[in-house]
Amino acid sequence: MLFGKKENYLGKDKEVAFLIEKETERQKTSLEMIPSENHTSRAVRQALGSLLTDKYAEGYPGKRYYAGLEYYDKLEDLCRERAKKLFNAVHANVQPYSGSPANHAVYYALLEKGDTVMGMSLPHGGHLTHGWKVNFSSKYYNSVQYGVDQTHFIDFKEAERLAKECHPKLIWVGATAYPRIFDWERFSFIADSVGAYLAADIAHIAGLVAGGVHPSPAPFAHIMTTTTHKTLRGPRGGMIMVTEKGIQKDPDLPKKIDKAVFPGLQGGPHENAIAAIAVCLKEASQESFKKYAEQIVKNSKTLAGELLKYGFKLVSGGTDNHLILVDLRNKNISGPEAQDILEKAGMTMNKNSIPFDPNPPFNPSGLRMGTPAITTRGMKEQEMIKIAGWINEVINDKNSCSKVREEVRELCSRFPLPE
């Protein structure tokens, strides 16, 4: 047995056990709708909580610094092979502790301090590590930022102008709050025109790419990075993958990436997390996962359509993926206030800046929501219609929180968390 009887869970540490039980109850009875969150399978959680956490495994399979790692080598090799197959990559490094460390390793592998990097502006939906001003990626490198136009779609003319003017060595494509499909081919053209590396950060959409409902960047990007805990539905971790195009540009790219991760930036890898990543990659290769990814998008589009009927303004007018970004200004409520009252009603979303937001980041005008976790529970279009009604009810009447909370609790009882 991997685990003992339930009454022996966490042994004598009743305080931690109590808090885990309370959080479990919260998740069971609430709608987790932050688009970067999901519910993992029992198999993923078992691998993550296994005794694989007990050993150091510095180095890579076949080139470790410690003894006793025969089975760790096989596990990591298995994980790497599954990643390459699922994402059509030539090389995979599965040791990054999460997405930001993975991106950090790409910088470390490819750039010198002061080199120019181009990425999507954070207020327009991008990621901190793509060159935003408060992050290392801006402090150590010369960062130029592209964004969206007035339609809230990526402004490719501006991106191309910046690339030709600034000649970045690395261009990032990826986002945290962009509800549309990425045109990898167009970015590839821009990167190739200036000789830049193109890195596709698919952290948010990895599960959608694996499930075939979002185009893959593999034919167009040199490097792909991702977290494993969002739409991919795995443990918290990260991966860096090199494509065939990346090898053609730089045959040493796999070696550069591996050396950047270890010993460049990290020590011993979290092999328990790597085992859990291997599990989630196998799950993501199943036909059932393709249906899951399709349902994520169907649910997202249905939820967006219903919100539009209630008069909500959506950034870019809708969604093509797993997330929706709502502009709340016409509802006379701020993002933080909406987040708080919806949480009281049992629906967890997050405040978020919108493009050209007149308000500061800590009091933004937007609300970000998504469908990965509630789709994992088995909810479909009919439930999205109900959820949109609850969102509208709570936003319009704060006093309805208690009533809606009980209705949410009842819905959740019919769609249990994955076992």
Hey, what's the torsion of the CAs at 341, 345, 348, 352, to 10 degrees?
-20
Residues tagged active-site: 56, 58, 201, 227, 230, 236
Give the Cα separation of 55 and 72 in Å (integer). Answer: 9
CA-nearest of 325, 392, 335 to 365 is: 335
Q: Which domain holds residue 301?
A: 287-414
Let me know if residue 20 belongs to a domain. no
| Amino acid (one-letter) located at 275 | A
- 233-246 pLDDT, tens digit per residue, is 999 999 999 999 99
- 140-179 pLDDT, tens digit per residue, is 999 999 999 999 999 999 999 999 999 999 999 999 999 9
In the beta sheet, which residues pair with residue 314?
326
Q: Are residues 230 and 120 in the same domain?
A: yes
Q: Are residues 74 and 142 in the same domain?
A: yes
Is cis: bond before 263, omega within 30 of 0? Answer: yes
Q: Are residues 250 and 153 in the same domain?
A: yes
Q: Are residues 246 and 383 in the same domain?
A: no
Scanning 153-266, the segments in alpha helix (DSSP H) are: 156-166, 184-194, 206-210, 244-249, 253-259
Are β-strands 238-242 and 223-227 bridged in parallel, bridged antiparallel, or unpaired?
antiparallel
Q: Are residues 314 and 264 in the same domain?
A: no
- 300-309 pLDDT, tens digit per residue, is 999 999 999 9
Is position 318 annotated in a ligand binding site? no
CB environment 86-125: b (16+ within 10 A), e (fewer): bbebbbbbbbbbbbbbbbbbbbbbbbeeeebbbbbbbbbb
Q: Are residues 191 and 68 in the same domain?
A: yes
> Would you state the pLDDT for residue 2?
41
On average, the pLDDT of the chain sits at 96
Average pLDDT over residues 219-225: 98
Split into its structural domains, the chain has a count of 2
- Asked whether residue 46 carries a pLDDT value surpassing 80, the answer given is yes
Confidence of residue 4 (pLDDT cuts 50, 70, 90): very low
Contact 225, 238 (CB under 8 A): yes
Q: Are residues 291 and 263 in the same domain?
A: no
> Would you state the pLDDT for residue 82?
98
- Asked whether residue 3 carries a pLDDT value surpassing 60, the answer given is no
Phi, psi of 37 (to 5 degrees): -120, 155
Are β-strands 323-327 and 313-314 bridged in parallel, bridged antiparallel, or unpaired?
antiparallel
Q: Are residues 64 and 197 in the same domain?
A: yes
SS3 state of residue 247: helix
> Would you state the pLDDT for residue 18?
93
> Would you state the pLDDT for residue 10?
74
Q: Are residues 186 and 273 in the same domain?
A: yes
Q: Are residues 117 and 201 in the same domain?
A: yes
In the beta sheet, which residues pair with residue 119?
145
Is position 130 annotated in a ligand binding site? no
Q: Are residues 257 and 313 in the same domain?
A: no
CATH number at residue 319: 3.90.1150.10
Give the Cα separation of 206 and 407 in Å (integer). Answer: 32
Is position 127 annotated in a ligand binding site? yes
Let me know if residue 220 belongs to a domain. yes
Phi, psi of 301 (to 5 degrees): -65, -40
Average pLDDT over residues 41-45: 97
Is position 126 annotated in a ligand binding site? yes
Percent of the chain whose pLDDT exceeds 90:
96
> Would you state the pLDDT for residue 419?
81
